[in-house]
A and B are shown apart, each in its own frame.
Chain A
Amino acid sequence: MWLSKSIVHLASLLPLCWLYYHAINDTLGADPVETVIHFTGIGALNLLLITLLISPSAERFKQPKLLKFRRMLGLWAFTYALLHLLNFIAFELQFDWSLLFSEIVERPYITVGMAAFVVLLLLTVTSVNRIKKQMGPKWQKLHNWVYIASIAVVVHFYWSIKSDIYEPGIYAIMLAWLLALRKLKIKRWLKIG
């Protein structure tokens, strides 16, 4: 368990080291800013989908141990999303805060992306065992919002693109499949919630 957890951490961390090493040295293509933003954004989405794959796989293949990886993968998804946002603020907008706020308000794809980020932030903050216990049944209700957030992330990706529909389309199909796997749970949640 210790070893496999280390592997997950390294597999998530090393690409970031590689990315920022090249970006800082200007050896990441012509526009390192665009590349780091796209890389961390797609990375966050990939990690989010892998996180959503854990519970259905654990159930299907009767491997409850897999659940031990769910939180760490979710936290890595958040880390990539956080870097994605920080890259946008620091390197794309270069700390033009008024531009950031007007973009959040005026551009639907950024509004949706920020909303997803806020949800992931809440899930991250409440992921600590102590808080989880204190929250009781409310915790699960809050963490069901990961489904809403992941839909928002795919919409954010689709709306951010100029003309291609295939790549976001593939992500939309993968997400639809992951949500369909937990159809009953989501139905129950929406009725109660």
Chain B
Amino acid sequence: MLIKNPKSYELKEHQVTDETTYLNRRELLKKMGYVGTGSLLASASANAGPLDFFGKKEDDKVFARTALDFKAQPQDGSEILTPEAKVASHNNFYEFGLDKADPAKNSQGLKVDPWQLSISGEMNNPFTLGYDDLFKKYPLEERIYRLRCVEAWSMVIPWVGFSLADVIKAANPTSKAKYVAFETLYDPKQMPGQRSRRIGGGIDYPYVEGLRIDEAMNRLSFLSVGLYGKTLPPQNGAPIRLVVPWKYGFKSIKSIVSIKLVEKQPPTTWNILAPHEYGFYANVNPAVSHPRWSQASERRITTGGLFARNRIETLPFNGYGEEVAALYKNMDLAKFY
């Protein structure tokens, strides 16, 4: 197995720890059993500065994460993983605040067990998954995916979970099932952004997302229950979130409580909020700019500080065109952005 690393003299020891830890994860996890992100989050609080009038207070509770048993994806070394500490401290999850560091600070108390994920709608076999089902009902596998945010930054993340198609097949859809509608937990007591329009960015909650049924059945569409070998931290969408790697990150809805098969295209949160900026499809497309910034390139967040030269070209469908471009044959992707 070839692991591509930047030259050693460019890196400080603390910056590579994450990858080493990752590569030895089987052994380490066996030794540790339960691992929290407490130490990893230590750097996330550095964002509020003396001239920031809107700095927020911190919460020192840390969500407990459990090691998962899964089939690992062999690494081809073509991508450098984003360190776990960064994956878990740079999040858009407006239910927990608008700043990228807010979700990690404000979500650590989220209760995920018990959890109910209902699978309903145009199907012959509706059912509900409880917390334990999320980890036992389907064989877990690892998928290392690029995640491209609509804000023009990206990460490479080793998710653990199962194909969305497995769930939909088990539900035995009827011929009326043309779209899939997803919904995030609505619990204003636990999610400050849902209590206050100021904290939640003026979004009408619950957060909703959707896919066309053929997109949902594509083998890349993934339901993630973990990352870096452990259950998801709340800021990344615990206990279960969608990952659609060829679409902008906001399609990959977090902390899902409902998956519903429907006949008509379902409403989606960012599309409702700013329809001319965020479409239903939201496929990663360097040729179609966001009205306020270019989508032609992106900054890849890995290791390295301010001087990391990390701006790279954005690829159509985030580089997954081979698997998904056929879904959009004869569609004008500038019109259906």
Interface residues of A (CB under 8 A from B): 14-15, 18-20, 22-36, 39, 42-43, 46, 91-94, 96, 99, 102-103, 106-109, 159-160, 162-167
Contacts and interface: CB of A to CB of B under 8 A. Distances in A.
B53 interface: yes
Given A31-B153, A42-B51, A24 B46 contact: no
A165 B309 CA distance: 33
Interface stretch (B29-37, B125-133, B213-221, B290-298): B290-298
Given A22-B46, A46-B51, A96-B311, A30 B294 contact: no
Given A26-B304, A36-B306, A165 B202 contact: yes
A30 B46 contact: no
30 contacts: A14-B50, A15-B49, A15-B50, A19-B49, A23-B306, A26-B303, A26-B306, A26-B308, A27-B43, A29-B47, A29-B101, A30-B44, A30-B89, A31-B86, A31-B100, A42-B52, A46-B53, A91-B307, A94-B310, A103-B293, A106-B294, A108-B292, A109-B292, A159-B292, A162-B151, A163-B94, A163-B202, A164-B198, A166-B197, A166-B198
Interface in B85-136: 85-87, 89-90, 94, 98, 100-101
B314 to A, nearest CB: 12
Contact of A32 (B85, B94, B203, B305): B305
Contacts of A19: 49
A34 B310 CA distance: 13
B311 to A, nearest CB: 4
B297 A29 contact: no
Contacts, number: 110
Contacts of A14: 50
B201 A164 contact: yes
Given A159-B292, A163-B202, A164-B201, A29 B90 contact: yes
A19 B306 CA distance: 11
A31 B90 contact: yes
B333 interface: no
A164 B297 contact: no
B9 interface: no
Given A15-B49, A18-B49, A33 B306 contact: yes
Contacts of A35: 46-47
Given A28-B46, A94-B311, A162 B201 contact: yes
Given A33-B299, A163-B203, A25 B292 contact: no
B305 A25 contact: yes
Contacts of A163: 94, 98, 201-203, 273-274
Interface size class, chain B:
35 or more
Contacts of A29: 43-44, 46-47, 89-90, 100-101
Contacts of B49: 15, 18-19, 39
A52 B277 CA distance: 35
B27 to A, nearest CB: 27
B286 to A, nearest CB: 12
Contacts of B308: 26
Given A46-B53, A165-B202, A166-B198, A28 B296 contact: no
The DSSP consensus for interface residues of chain A is helix
B297 A96 contact: yes
A91 B51 contact: no
| Ranked 5 nearest A-B pairs via Cβ | A30-B90, A26-B305, A30-B86, A23-B306, A163-B201
A181 B276 CA distance: 38
B17 interface: no
B146 to A, nearest CB: 16
Contacts of A92: 299
Given A29-B89, A96-B311, A107-B292, A91 B46 contact: no
A96 B44 CA distance: 29
Interface string B152-186: 01000000000000000000000000000000000
B100 A107 contact: no
Contacts of B303: 26
Given A19-B49, A24-B306, A163-B203, A30 B85 contact: yes
Given A30-B90, A160-B292, 6 more contacts: A26-B308, A27-B43, A28-B46, A29-B46, A31-B86, A159-B292
A34 B311 CA distance: 13
B54 A167 contact: yes
B75 interface: no
Contacts of B98: 163-164
B307 A24 contact: yes
A33 B46 CA distance: 13
B47 A28 contact: yes
Contacts of B44: 29-30
Contacts of B100: 29-31, 34
Nearest to B44: A29
